[in-house]
Structures are given as structure tokens and as C-alpha cells.
Structure 1
Amino acid sequence: MDGTEQAPGGAAGSDPTEEGLWRPLRLLLAEMDDDIGRIYAEAALDGIRPAYVMELLRLHARGPMTITELAASVHRTHSAVSQKVAAMRSAGLVRTVPGSDARTRQVVLTAKARRMAGRLAAEWRATERASAELEAELPYPLSRVVEDMRAALARRGFHDRIAALLAEDPEWG
């Protein structure tokens, strides 16, 4: 292109990643996670990241699990939980031990994580209460938005919506 031609799908030099209808929501949630991380740092909860807490609390409540069981219990992929377990192992929060047969390994909390579990549960409860307080200040609660979006997606799934739009785009071809 010589700089005067239009880029496919838009203005000259357009970058579709500059558009992001829900990017502000993702950034807001990241800022809120950062605030939770600050709570952990202020409390000297070394090695704890907000992304680890659900799995740590689940293991504390239910006991050792395989990665497959843990992933199913938190509704995440095996791959994502496997990576998270590796990071938590590096932080000294979990270890893996042989399971019921030679093919399985169980994820177990370390003593360090067990000592933190009560504080992490308290933070989880406080975060849920703070979220409810924040949501009460909004004219349209985010939890309602999620319910309404699930209902809309039940009527027509996201995949089908994207596929229909791609079928109209000559660049998808």
C-alpha cells in the first residue's frame, strides 16, 4: 500500500484491535484484581495472586484433587489449571503427590497455603460483600447483565453470531 489506499475492512492503516467493546470491562476487572493483590501484599501473603485463590480455597475445602478434578470443579480447562498448578507449585503453595494409581497425581496444599486458607477465605467473603455493595450503587447490576447475556446467548450462541458476520465479510472468504 502507498498510504492512500484503504486497508481491507476500513480506513487506511486501520487496526481492528483498536476496537474493543468490552475492553474497558476487562481493564476494570484487571484493576480490581490489582487492588486485591495489594490487599495480599499489605497482609504479607507471599506468593498469593488473585488468580490462585479459587483453586486454593477449593483444595482447602475439598481436599486433594487431580488436575482434571480441580479443573472441572472451577470450570476451567485442564491446560489452564495445569499451568496455574505449576505456578502455585513454584510459589510453594501446592505440591503434587502420587494418586490412587501410577497414572494420576493429586494436587495438595502445602503447609504454607493451609496457614493462609482462613485469611484467603476472609478476603473472598469481603470481596463478595464489596462487590455486592458496589453493584448496589449501579443502576443496572452487572450480575443482571450476565443473566441477560446468558439468556440472549441461549437464544443464539456467540459462535453462531460470529459465524454469520464472518459469512458476510469478503476477507474471511
Structure 2
Amino acid sequence: MIETENLKLRRPVTEDLDAIHAMRRDPAVIRHLGGKPLNREEAWHRLTRLTGHWALRGYGMFIVVAKASGHVIGEVGLFDGYRGLSPDFDNAPEAGWILAAEAHGKGYAIEAATAAHRWFAQTHGEQRSVCIIAPDNLASLRVAQKLGYKSFGQVDYQGGPVTMLERIPF
């Protein structure tokens, strides 16, 4: 587990299903994730994918818990997405951050993502990472910029444009 000033980051567990389901059906959360809410079965598949990635790769998306409330407020980490976007994209760990609406605008995304990147560097070595963000997702683009990500192209992904960004820590 990772602890920051306001958050705890931990591996996903079965009991996270309800929180993942609630977050992944909230219009404020999914509007930049294709806009399609997940039903309970799809949320279960999301949870099993999160836990399976940890088992296969030794890293993945952390579940983010607010210390003050004890509520699950997001998913943050690095993973292998194998999206088929380009060799420049698919051959690097991909960073992601998704926060519940109650956590928006509080600086939690940058707090959690900074901690996740630090953990990844300590356990897997400093290396280039990538992420994709919809061009109109200004809040997420600000987080990426604060983390040191820079644009290196734009592609269509699942019916819409996304900006590909990279972070080179050297």
C-alpha cells in the first residue's frame, strides 16, 4: 500500500466492485471515457482485469481511497494496454487516472498519479511511459502536464480522437 497526505493506494479487491460500478456509470466520470456506462457485469470484468494485470505483470492500476472518508474514489496507476495505436505507444507502460466525481477538482489525481509513478520507478525502474487523453479533457491534460507528459501525436481510438503523450524521466 502507498500512503500520501490525503490518499491510500492499494491493489484492487473483490469488495471494490460496487465502487467501480458506481464510478463507471457516473456521467461526470465516463464522459471522457467513451460515454458508455458500465453495467454490473462489465464492472466485474473491469475489476477482474485490474486484478489480473497485477498477477501477470507485477504492477497495474491502484484503487485510490480517500483517508478522510474511507471511500474508494478512483483508479490510478500504470499498466500495459496493448491498444494497437502504434509501436511508439504500445511498447511502453501506460499511465491512467480515473476519479469519482466527488474527488474532482481537489488535486487528488496529481497526488495519486505522482505516488504511483514514484512507486513504479522504485519497483520497475525509471522508464518512458505513455498515456492517451481526449483533447477536450482539459483537467486530465493538466494532470499529464504536471506529471511531465508531452504530446507526440494524435490518433483515433474507439471512434474519437485522442492525444498520445509520453513522459521521459531521464
TM > 0.5 fold call: no
Highest CA radius of gyration, 1 or 2?
1
Question: If the length of structure 1 is used for normalisation, what is the TM-score?
Answer: 0.27
Higher helix share: 1
Question: If the length of structure 2 is used for normalisation, what is the TM-score?
Answer: 0.27
Structure number with greater CO (CA < 8 Å, separation at least 6) is: 2
